[in-house]
């Protein structure tokens, strides 16, 4: 299949062990990044309200030297780290303008509170941040020890430091990571996000959601109630907040593990996996379903699956959602049904199966069609 020369992108994450002084230094960088985000957002807002102009990234990046002259504290942060903050804001605004153009309800970008933004990034490896065995060297924050439990492959590109509930982590994104192809099996499938299950495969086999999230949810609620009960600003409340954050992190880790395990298995068994692009606009309108989507972390799983497939020399394809759940997989007739109707029963040909299974068969066929007509692009006809 010509996979020999293929290379993939991959991110490696390691725990960091900063000394108390170093921890304070990186926390200060994080704090400066947050204030910069806030200041730049305010500037955009004011320019828009008072003068009716939209500032862009280049305008704001050109102001950075002046900002550093006025507030020398910013001089302690690597300039490219600050640029990444402004780029992140630019992205937020572009998404905002896109939503406005589509005449959706567009909320003006808000300030991300202390809990929302917990990371900062060096966009060019070697410029401000380098790895040297078990040591991460930051030009302005010193040499921080890290766990080096698995070696990095490929060419390091970006370095991100992230503060999680149990401490600091470094994530190194690498390009040109050599692919370690898995043996081909000649099998192909698709996955469809289920409602009764986490996902359904084309052969009708469901993948069930692990039950630990529901169990953990009760524990989460208890943690949250404890935070709410305790007096604001008190030491006991701060302790409860920490416990709550840890509980959240634990669940997120468990879920990611589940996604990794499922993705690894799919990639082992199938050479080609197709899935349907989510129509998020329709989904979010239905709150119950939206919650479930969130829970299932469907998009996280697909991202993991795509990366895993790329590094195993397998293929993942996105199919446009062309009535895959309404169309009959047996005869192609349209059988309209609301989201609550879970069974597909066709009057035309008598096909009768679970809604998710029917959609899965349709997606598989669309993926096969796309492959056999490569010139026609991804636009599947209705
Ligand atoms: Zn039919």
CB 328 within 8 A of CB 349: yes
The fraction of the chain above a pLDDT of 90, given in percent, is 36
Is 356 considered catalytic here?
A: yes
Query: Which of 263-279 are b and which e, b meaning 16 or more Cβ less than 10 Å from the residue's Cβ?
Result: beebbeebbbbbbbebe
Instruction: Give residue 347 CA to ligand 1 midpoint distance, Å.
Output: 7
Instruction: Give residue 256 CA to ligand 1 midpoint distance, Å.
Output: 38
Distance between CA atoms of 21 and 297, rounded to whole angstroms? 36
Is 192 considered catalytic here?
A: yes
Is 132 considered catalytic here?
A: no
Cβ contacts of residue 57 below 8 Å, gap of 6+? Answer: 86, 87, 89, 90
Q: How many residues does the chain have?
A: 382
* pLDDT tens figures, 47-83: 988 888 888 999 999 999 998 899 888 988 999 999 9
Instruction: Give residue 334 CA to ligand 1 midpoint distance, Å.
Output: 8
* pLDDT tens figures, 306-354: 988 988 888 888 876 656 777 888 888 878 776 667 788 998 898 899 8
Q: Which two tokens stand for residue 325?
A: 């759940």
Instruction: Give residue 266 CA to ligand 1 midpoint distance, Å.
Output: 29
Torsion, CA 112, CA 294, CA 188, CA 336, rounded to 10: -120
Instruction: Give residue 328 CA to ligand 1 midpoint distance, Å.
Output: 5
Q: What is the pLDDT of residue 168?
A: 95
Q: Identify the active-site residue in 190, 192, 271, 317.
A: 192
**CA 60 to mean position of chain CA atoms:** 27
How deeply is 350 buried, as exposed, middle or buried, from its count of CB atoms within 10 A (0-12, 13-18, 19+)? exposed
Q: Identify the active-site residue in 276, 295, 317, 348.
A: 276
Q: How does DSSP assign 228-296, residue by residue? A: HHSPTT-HHHHHHHHHHHHHHHHHHHHHHHHHHHHHHHHHHH-SEEEEEPP-HHHHHHSHHHHHHHHHH
CB 26 within 8 A of CB 76: no
Instruction: Give residue 344 CA to ligand 1 midpoint distance, Å.
Output: 9
Alpha helices in the chain (DSSP H): 20-46, 57-62, 64-70, 79-101, 212-229, 235-269, 280-285, 287-296, 298-312, 355-372
Give the residue from 184, 170, 143 showing the smallest Cα distance to 3. Answer: 184
Instruction: Give residue 49 CA to ligand 1 midpoint distance, Å.
Output: 56
Q: What is the pLDDT of residue 4?
A: 46
Distance between CA atoms of 110 and 299, rounded to whole angstroms? 24
Instruction: Give residue 289 CA to ligand 1 midpoint distance, Å.
Output: 27
- The segments of the chain whose pLDDT lies below 50 read 1-4, 114, 281, 375-382
Q: What is the pLDDT of residue 379?
A: 40
Instruction: Give residue 327 CA to ligand 1 midpoint distance, Å.
Output: 8
Q: What are the angstrom distances between the C-alpha of 376 and each of 117, 318, 371, 372, 380?
A: 41, 14, 9, 9, 9
pTM listed for this prediction: 0.73
């Amino acid at each position: 299949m010509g996979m020999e020369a293929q290379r993939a992108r991959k991110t490696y994450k390691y725990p960091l062990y900063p000394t108390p002084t170093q921890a304070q230094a990186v926390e200060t960088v994080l704090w400066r990044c947050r204030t910069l985000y806030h200041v730049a957002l305010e500037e955009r807002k004011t320019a828009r309200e008072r003068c009716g102009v939209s500032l862009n990234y280049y305008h704001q990046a050109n102001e950075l030297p002046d900002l550093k002259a006025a507030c020398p504290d910013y001089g302690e942060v690597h300039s490219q780290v600050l640029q990444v903050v402004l780029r992140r804001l630019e992205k937020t605004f572009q998404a905002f303008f896109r939503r406005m153009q589509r005449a959706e309800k567009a909320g003006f970008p808000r300030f991300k509170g202390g809990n929302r933004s917990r990371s900062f990034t060096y966009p060019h490896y070697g410029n401000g941040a380098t790895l040297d065995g078990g040591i991460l060297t930051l030009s302005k924050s010193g040499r921080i020890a890290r766990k080096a439990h698995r070696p990095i492959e490929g060419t390091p590109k970006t370095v991100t430091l992230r503060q999680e509930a149990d401490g600091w982590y470094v994530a190194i994104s690498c390009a040109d990571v050599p692919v370690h192809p898995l043996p081909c099996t000649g099998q192909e499938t698709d996955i469809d996000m289920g409602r009764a299950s986490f996902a359904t495969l084309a052969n009708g086999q469901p993948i069930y959601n692990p039950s630990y999230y529901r169990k953990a949810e009760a524990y989460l609620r208890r943690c949250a109630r404890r935070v709410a009960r305790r007096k604001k600003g008190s030491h006991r409340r701060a302790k409860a907040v920490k416990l709550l954050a840890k509980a959240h992190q634990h669940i997120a880790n468990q879920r990611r593990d589940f996604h990794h395990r499922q993705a690894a298995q799919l990639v082992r068994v199938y050479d080609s996996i197709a899935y349907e692009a989510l129509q998020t606009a329709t989904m979010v309108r239905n709150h119950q379903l939206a919650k479930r989507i969130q829970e299932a972390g469907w998009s996280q799983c697909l991202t993991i699956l795509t990366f895993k497939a790329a590094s195993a020399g397998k293929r993942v394809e996105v199919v446009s959602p062309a009535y895959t759940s309404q169309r009959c997989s047996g005869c192609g007739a349209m059988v309209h049904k609301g989201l609550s109707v879970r069974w597909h029963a066709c009057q035309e040909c008598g096909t009768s199966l679970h809604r998710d299974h029917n959609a899965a068969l349709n997606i598989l066929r669309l993926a096969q069609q796309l492959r056999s007509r490569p010139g026609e692009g991804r636009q599947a006809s209705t």
